[in-house]
Structure 1
Amino acid sequence: MTEIVPARRRGELEGFSWETGEGRLKLGTRTSPLAMAQARMVAGMVSRLARVDVEIVGIMTTGDKHQGDLSELGGKGAYLREIDRALLTRGVDFAVHCLKDVPGDVPLPDGLIFPAYLERDDTGDVMLFPMGSGHESMADLPYGARVGTSAVRRRAQLGRIRPDLRVEYLRGNVNSRLGRLDAGNEFDAIVLARASLDRLDLARPHEVLDMIPAVGAGVLAVQCRESDRHIAELLRLLDHEPTRTCVRAERTMLHGLQGHCNSPIAGRARFERDGQLSLEGMVFTRDGSQFVRSHDWAAPREAAALGAYIAGDLLRKGGRDLIDGIPH
């Protein structure tokens, strides 16, 4: 599956030059409709920055092929391995990932870097209901209603809000999840990322949930080979420094917690009105009945130290026992 995003007129990079020896860059991505939509957006940005066509190369990953629990494949890294391999073997020149799918406890393959984190989109989770069901909010759902999600973080937080709900495993791309929801015989509601609806331009009624997002939620990360200096320099022009600062705090926290793919961990960094960086982190049991929480502030230049502090505080409050108590 490939698409070509043609070069457009020069934008802010008038006179920019790079030396790949070819007139086209190859952008690797997963093949889901959401991933392809995100790739087209990034390809358009790159084509506007430099006079270069971008070929979008769809790569079917192990995580996309497997419909069971991701823990059976070793976690979210199953969404990256084939794309990493394509980068390392020069099958593609750069790649785009949802940062929340990039494991925090596994180092990047040698030679690969993230020169750009795009400006963060909405991090909210939303609940959707079958078309024509008449339900408009979680409060409308009957006792024991069936809610679909694959995220252990969402399962835990739903358990805190409505412990009566039957939260059932649901994977697949956004369109297939909505199709199963509207079929009406499996789920009374499902939970998705609000950003995924926006990126697919899907407008349908939903309820915004009061939940802490996944680490890296709403962030698209652009990856390339470190040795391709000119491509890395081009991609760095897409980087959004405030988002990078938030990512540094959140992922430092995630790394410090040393969780696994079944660990319900949530984290959200953001800038406050006074310019301080805020980081809130939580660790839950699988059903949400127990949790620990930490929240603190620091100067943006201390993002990594803030992440390390929040991780340490969560562990001191019992986070290690909660993480270790959940099977891998």
Structure 2
Amino acid sequence: MAEIERATSAVMPSPAPVAVYRGRVLSGRRLRLGSRTSPMAMAQAHLVRDLLAGQVDGLDVEIVGIQTSGDAWRGDLAQLGGKGAFLKEIDKALVTGQIDMAVHCLKDVPGDVPLAPGTVIAAYLPREDVRDVVVFPTGSKYSHLDDLPPGSKIATSAVRRKAQLLRVRPDLHVDRIRGNVDTRLARLDAEQRFGAMILAGAGLRRIGMEHRADQVLSLEEMCPAVGAGIICLHVRETDEALVELARLLDDPVTRVHATAERTMLHSLRGHCNSPIAGHCTTTPDGQLSLLGMVFSREGGTFAYAHEWDTPDRAPELGAFVAATLARKGARAIIDGIPH
């Protein structure tokens, strides 16, 4: 998978020829940018539209909202085949030429299946803050998870968050709740049945709701999802002009971190109900640092691995961390969780 996503990195033209080529081919062209229709997804699409339009004079970027089966479904995603339900319709539109480029949250791109044939992730935008945050209902007397009494109900959409929270607070009840972020926040306030909700801080910021974050969880308290905080651009490999245009927005450091994390995820062969966390960073001395964790559903059992390597060996680092996790029981943990 890492090799597929990095297919364009070795053949990127020098900056001057790229500028001439894209100016000649793309000026005056309408680029159809595909996105999910949730407020957060559309905010991301508008961000990407503005960034792309700023690269080529006269480039007309149209945002095409696509309702996905994952957004329409309110049950367990596993019944739809996992996280791929958020991408299936968008992938089809990209492959068939109904759109020219797709905008995704990288964490929503499945790690256990390859990209759609003939497509490539051409750009990873600079990574945002990966930390999760805790939101309490409006008017709540609490402002920290430690303040909540035993038996309190916590809402979250991620099995990863549930497992990590229950590992340190087994006295809480964690319920999975799905839907758009703004819809979930409205339910939190209106229903008053949850003591708190855990969300991605970056998602709140993208929809202008960062003021709702009452507590920011440290990376030690909540290891993030693989690909957290990264927006990626997905294009057809044969559309060289758009591949080159997207590459102008690519952040090399984010690409390296994403490659290490997603190689680990792909090697673990997890599914949508597998609580897997991973985070790659660059240390002050220039080394890659990759932390990987695999949890049982309730967090009682987990495997942990943390390894380092040089920046040119991101795929090898990802594979090594996955192998280390497997030796520590990760495969048995994943196999023991129903799909």
| Pair in the same fold by TM > 0.5 | yes
- 1:30 and 2:41 aligned: no
1:116–1:222 contact (8 Å) kept in structure 2: yes
- 1:208 and 2:239 aligned: no
Report the equivalent of 1:76: 83
Report the equivalent of 1:245: 256
Report the equivalent of 2:9: none
Q: Quick one: which amino acid aligns to residue 208 of structure 1?
A: V
Report the equivalent of 2:46: 40
- Deviation, structure 1 residue 90: 1.0
2:283–2:289 contact (8 Å) kept in structure 1: yes
Report the equivalent of 1:102: 109
Q: Quick one: which amino acid aligns to residue 151 of structure 2?
A: G
Q: In 2, Cα distance between the equivalents of 1:121 and 1:134?
A: 30
- 1:300 and 2:311 aligned: yes
Report the equivalent of 2:128: 121
Q: Please identify which structure carries the higher helix content.
A: 2
Report the equivalent of 1:17: 23
Work out which of the residue numbers 68, 74, 77 in structure 2 matches 1:67: 74
What are the superposed Cα offsets for residues 165-210 of structure 1, whole Å, 9 maximum, x if unpaired?
1100100001000001111432111110000011112122421122
2:296–2:302 contact (8 Å) kept in structure 1: yes
Unpaired segments ≥5 residues, structure 2: 1-15
Q: In 2, Cα distance between the equivalents of 1:22 and 1:90?
A: 18
1:136–1:205 contact (8 Å) kept in structure 2: no
Distance 1:205 1:265, change over 3 A: closer
2:290–2:306 contact (8 Å) kept in structure 1: yes
- 1:181 and 2:188 aligned: yes
2:137–2:192 contact (8 Å) kept in structure 1: no
Report the equivalent of 1:132: 139
SS of equivalent residue, structure 1 residue 287: coil
Q: Quick one: which amino acid aligns to residue 168 of structure 1?
A: D
- Deviation, structure 1 residue 88: 1.1
What are the superposed Cα offsets for residues 92-112 of structure 1, whole Å, 9 maximum, x if unpaired?
110100000000110011111
TM-score, structure 1 as length reference: 0.94
- 1:171 and 2:178 aligned: yes
Q: In 2, Cα distance between the equivalents of 1:310 and 1:21?
A: 45
- Deviation, structure 1 residue 264: 0.6
Q: Quick one: which amino acid aligns to residue 147 of structure 1?
A: I
- 1:316 and 2:327 aligned: yes
Q: In 1, Cα distance between the equivalents of 2:192 and 2:201?
A: 24
What is the RMSD computed on CA atoms of the aligned residues?
1.4
Q: In 1, Cα distance between the equivalents of 2:194 and 2:31?
A: 42
Q: In 1, Cα distance between the equivalents of 2:24 and 2:102?
A: 18
Distance 1:301 1:186, change over 3 A: same
1:282–1:292 contact (8 Å) kept in structure 2: yes
SS of equivalent residue, structure 2 residue 242: helix
* Displacement over 6 Å in runs of 4+: none
1:130–1:184 contact (8 Å) kept in structure 2: no
Q: Quick one: which amino acid aligns to residue 25 of structure 1?
A: L
Q: In 2, Cα distance between the equivalents of 1:22 and 1:108?
A: 30
Report the equivalent of 2:230: 219
Q: In 1, Cα distance between the equivalents of 2:223 and 2:103?
A: 24
Q: In 1, Cα distance between the equivalents of 2:253 and 2:154?
A: 34
SS of equivalent residue, structure 2 residue 329: helix
Instruction: Provide the aligned length of Structure 1 versus Structure 2.
Output: 317
Greater shift, 33-42 or 130-139, is seen at 130-139
TM-score, structure 2 as length reference: 0.91
Q: In 1, Cα distance between the equivalents of 2:151 and 2:315?
A: 42
- 1:85 and 2:92 aligned: yes
Report the equivalent of 1:141: 148
Report the equivalent of 1:285: 296
- Deviation, structure 1 residue 14: 6.6
Q: In 2, Cα distance between the equivalents of 1:43 and 1:285?
A: 40
What are the superposed Cα offsets for residues 267-297 of structure 1, whole Å, 9 maximum, x if unpaired?
0000111110000000110000010100011
